[in-house]
Amino acid sequence: MSVKKIEAVIKPFKLEEVKEALTEIGIEGLTVSEVKGFGRQKGHTEIYRGSEYTVDFLPKVKVEIVLADSLIEKGVETIVKAAKTGKIGDGKIFVLPVEDAIRIRTEEKGDKAV
Amino acid sequence: MDWHAGCSNSPLKSAWGRIEKNKQTKYIKERTMNKLVKKLALLLLAGSIVAAPFHTFAQEEEAAVVEEVVAAVEPVVEEVAAAVEMDEDYAALLAEQGDGAYAFDFFVTSNLWTVIAAAMVFLMHLGFSCVESGLCRSKNTTNILFKNAFIISIGLVTYALTGFNTHYPGDFNGYISINGPFSDGNIDNTFGYGGVGLAMTGYGDFIFQAMFAATGATIVSGAVAERVKLLPFMIFATLLVGLAYPVIGSWHWGGGWFSNLSGGEGLKDFAGSAVVHAFGGFAALACVIILGPRKGKYVDGKIKPILGHSMPLASIGVLLLWFGWFGFNGGSVLSAAPGGVSLVFMTTALAAAAGCLGAILLSWIVFKTPDLTMALNGMLAGLVGITANADIASVMGSMIIGLIAGFIVVLSIVALDKMKIDDPVGAISVHGTCGIWGIIACALPFLCPGTPFGIVGQFIGVAAVAIAAFVFSLVVFGALKVIMGVRVSEDEEEAGLDKSEHGQEAYPDFAPAVKG
């Protein structure tokens, strides 16, 4: 069976909840990175030694998971539920097609590899 | 008494010593008699305490106890009689100890305190390294640490080669003092070196003074950080600490022309608000003017702050500096005189605390946010302000001196920024501007009660130091700019000096931890 990738950009303090929710529905692995960016939330101004500056890029966490097609919908739903605060800046989720997945140790392919 | 100004060494020192001895002769005799009486009283008291248990167990032994006390007193009587015959220097030493004479050996304690204070001043160089690293970007950290490692090393070596003997030259014309290396031949490593006034050995004095020497260059290092080319900076730092500091310092500490200020009272600069801090601050100002601001600091007439990369490092640095300052000021008492050391510790701490509060107050009102870097600069400002007058300021005086320094440093940082003078760590404001304030504060009687120093004399002294340091730096750093360039290229500045000057990153973030 083919696989797809979920990329979720979320608020950093929501990572723990998202991870726990995903673990609960049986997802066994994910990759996380610290990222910065801006959307409609935009930045804000801060002051350093008397001069104002704009913080354009806000810190976010990007969660990447590759799942079998059948699990994608459930996965997205779980992340939305766990990461939502209802306030601006909650982030975005992207679902991407994946050509193939290979587990290096066993060389298994496709949904067996994820 | 300002020991620093009076008792440097050789002819000057011995002349001072003679005057002091004459003054003290009568005093010593009175003291010896007072001490005899006090010792007897103490022993009688001790005797009665010792006797107390005997009363409980064997009251009939009362007579024996009295005999015991008498026996205990006898050697003391002999001792004091012998003391009268003692070497005059040693008697003066005992007199100097006052009421604490029984408790410790003043000279040993003083010398020990001086070398410990030297080690504390040494630690300030770690403080400077941390502040400078923390308030600059991570891509320049190796470069900053390298400069600081070099500065403390070259400062000590040049102080041995040219500084010490130039600072304490004995008879000279009062303006230009050049002298050779200090060596075993011209230094006394015993009590005889400084006697009572300078209660330390020659080597102890050297190492304490030497630790100060590199400070001027360290101050400059912070102001020129993130864009200065390494080699020309090293050449400049060597000339600043090896040539300018000894000559300018000798005006004050070498018995130079500053001795004539305030109608012969001299310049009041206890531990170096002018000679060390304003010196470094104004050298830094000249270098920054020649060097120009960091790329991206002033764009289209607007100030774009360049954020320091580590507030923990900056805080560690400033608090280390405060700790070291107890040695910087406390050691400048030049003995372990209980009154002097305690007073100086108190004024130093109160000024630092008030400086921090002053900067917090003003920066919060003006900027509407509590800025940590301003609070830290305020602490340093208070310390620089109290450095000139730590031994004459009153309790309230020291707090007001610190508080005002805290206000001044915030205003000075903002003003320099408006003039497009880019000083990443605030060194010019902390050391230059507040150095001047510290010197002026010495002349204000409501801060320093009974001060004999005039505001004009104080101003002439600090202005002379500031102008001399500024002009020296303008000429030398300007010459280096013409000869070899003093600034890295734009590309190198963007890449960071760690990569472009050293090929060595302080934080090799994405490099694999294990190679091969």
ipTM over 0.95: no
Residue A8 predicted with pLDDT over 60: yes
Q: How confident is the model at residue B198 (pLDDT cuts 50, 70, 90)?
A: confident
Select from B369, B377, B412, B413 the residue whose CB has the most chain A CBs within 10 Å, as the one to mutate to test that interface. B369
Average pLDDT for residues B401-420, to the nearest whole number? 96
Residue B395 predicted with pLDDT over 70: yes
Q: Which of A8-12, B43-47, B71-75, B216-220 has the lowest mean pLDDT?
A: B43-47
Nearest chain A residue to B368 by CA distance is: A47
B442-460 pLDDT per residue, tens: 999 999 999 999 999 999 9
Classified as helix, coil or strand, A45 is strand
Residue B465 predicted with pLDDT over 80: yes
Contact criterion met (CB < 8 Å) for A48 and B305? yes
Shortest alpha-carbon distance between residue A54 and chain B (Å): 9
Q: How far is CA B90 from CA B105, B107, B199, B351, in A?
A: 11, 10, 12, 36
| B51 contact A CB<8A | no
DSSP tag of B430: I
* pLDDT score at B487: 97
Please tell me the distance from the alpha carbon of residue B505 to that of residue A48, in angstroms, as a whole number: 26
Q: How confident is the model at residue B4 (pLDDT cuts 50, 70, 90)?
A: very low
| E-state strands within A1-114 | 3-10, 31-37, 44-48, 51-55, 58-68, 91-97
| A44 contact B CB<8A | no
Please say whether the beta carbons of B411 and B362 come within 8 A: yes
Average pLDDT for residues B223-248, to the nearest whole number? 95
Contacts 24+ apart (CB under 8 A), B448-452: B448/B389, B448/B392, B448/B393, B448/B394, B448/B397, B449/B392, B449/B394, B449/B397, B451/B268, B451/B392, B452/B262, B452/B265
Residue B11 predicted with pLDDT over 50: no
Q: Which of A74-83, B14-23, B107-116 has the lowest mean pLDDT?
A: B14-23
Nearest chain A residue to B297 by CA distance is: A51
Please tell me the distance from the alpha carbon of residue B272 to that of residue B25, in angstroms, as a whole number: 32
Nearest chain A residue to B422 by CA distance is: A49
* pLDDT score at B514: 55
DSSP tag of B478: H
* Ordered DSSP codes for B199-249: -S-HHHHHHHHHHHHTHHHHHHHHHTTTTB-HHHHHHHHHHIIIIIHHHHH
* pLDDT score at B79: 66
Nearest chain B residue to A54 by CA distance is: B304
According to DSSP H, which parts of B442-500 are helical?
455-484, 490-495, 497
Q: Which of B120-124, B211-215, B268-272 has the lowest mean pLDDT?
A: B211-215
Classified as helix, coil or strand, B514 is coil
Please tell me the distance from the alpha carbon of residue B248 to that of residue B210, in angstroms, as a whole number: 15
Q: Where do we find the tokens 């001027």?
A: B216
Please tell me the distance from the alpha carbon of residue B249 to that of residue A89, in angstroms, as a whole number: 59
Residue B515 predicted with pLDDT over 80: no
Q: How many contacts (CB atoms, under 8 Å) link A and B?
A: 34
Partnered with residue A95 across adjacent β-strands are A6
Amino acid at B412: S
Q: Encoding tokens for residue B380?
A: 């340093």
* pLDDT score at B197: 73
Contact criterion met (CB < 8 Å) for A49 and B368? no
Please tell me the distance from the alpha carbon of residue B110 to that of residue B336, in angstroms, as a whole number: 4
Q: How confident is the model at residue B38 (pLDDT cuts 50, 70, 90)?
A: low
Cα angle, residue A58 at apex, residues A56 and A61 outer, rounded to 5° = 150
Shortest alpha-carbon distance between residue B23 and chain A (Å): 54
B366 interaction partners in chain A (CB closer than 8 Å): 50
Residue B28 predicted with pLDDT over 80: no
| B49 contact A CB<8A | no
| B410 contact A CB<8A | yes
Of B76, B55, B77, nearest to B64 by C-alpha is B55
SS3 content of chain B, % helix, strand, coil (to 5): 75, 0, 25
Q: How confident is the model at residue B104 (pLDDT cuts 50, 70, 90)?
A: low
B305 interaction partners in chain A (CB closer than 8 Å): 47-49, 51-53
Residue B3 predicted with pLDDT over 50: no
| B378 contact A CB<8A | no
Shortest alpha-carbon distance between residue A43 and chain B (Å): 16
| E-state strands within B276-433 | 298-299, 302-303
* pLDDT score at A55: 85
User: Torsion angle of alpha carbons B407, B410, B411, B415, nearest 10°?
Assistant: 170
Q: Encoding tokens for residue B333?
A: 């008492």
Residue B239 predicted with pLDDT over 70: yes
* pLDDT score at B510: 61
| A48 contact B CB<8A | yes
Q: Encoding tokens for residue B66?
A: 């009295």
Percent of chain A with pLDDT over 90: 68
Q: Which of A25-29, B56-60, B340-344 has the lowest mean pLDDT?
A: B56-60
| A51 contact B CB<8A | yes
Q: Encoding tokens for residue B360?
A: 């917090």
Q: Which of B304, B307, B417 is the closest to A50 by Cβ?
A: B417
**Which B residues 422-451 touch A at CB under 8 Å?**
426
Classified as helix, coil or strand, B510 is coil
Neighbour tally for B138: CB within 10 Å: 17
User: B392-420 burial, b if ≥16 CB within 10 A, otherwise e?
Assistant: bbbeebbbbbbbbbbbbbbebbbebbeee
Contact criterion met (CB < 8 Å) for B373 and A49? yes
DSSP tag of A46: E
User: A58-94 burial, b if ≥16 CB within 10 A, otherwise e?
Assistant: bebbbbebbbbeebbeebbebbbebbeeeeeebbebe
Q: How confident is the model at residue B46 (pLDDT cuts 50, 70, 90)?
A: low
Residue B22 predicted with pLDDT over 90: no
Please tell me the distance from the alpha carbon of residue A29 to that of residue B125, in angstroms, as a whole number: 48
Classified as helix, coil or strand, A100 is coil
Shortest alpha-carbon distance between residue A62 and chain B (Å): 18
Residue B72 predicted with pLDDT over 80: no
Shortest alpha-carbon distance between residue B217 and chain A (Å): 24
Q: How confident is the model at residue B281 (pLDDT cuts 50, 70, 90)?
A: very high
Contact criterion met (CB < 8 Å) for B426 and A46? no
Q: How confident is the model at residue A45 (pLDDT cuts 50, 70, 90)?
A: confident
Please say whether the beta carbons of B428 and B220 come within 8 A: no
A58-94 pLDDT per residue, tens: 899 999 999 999 999 999 999 999 999 999 889 999 9
Select from A34, A47, A49 the residue whose CB has the most chain B CBs within 10 Å, as the one to mutate to test that interface. A49
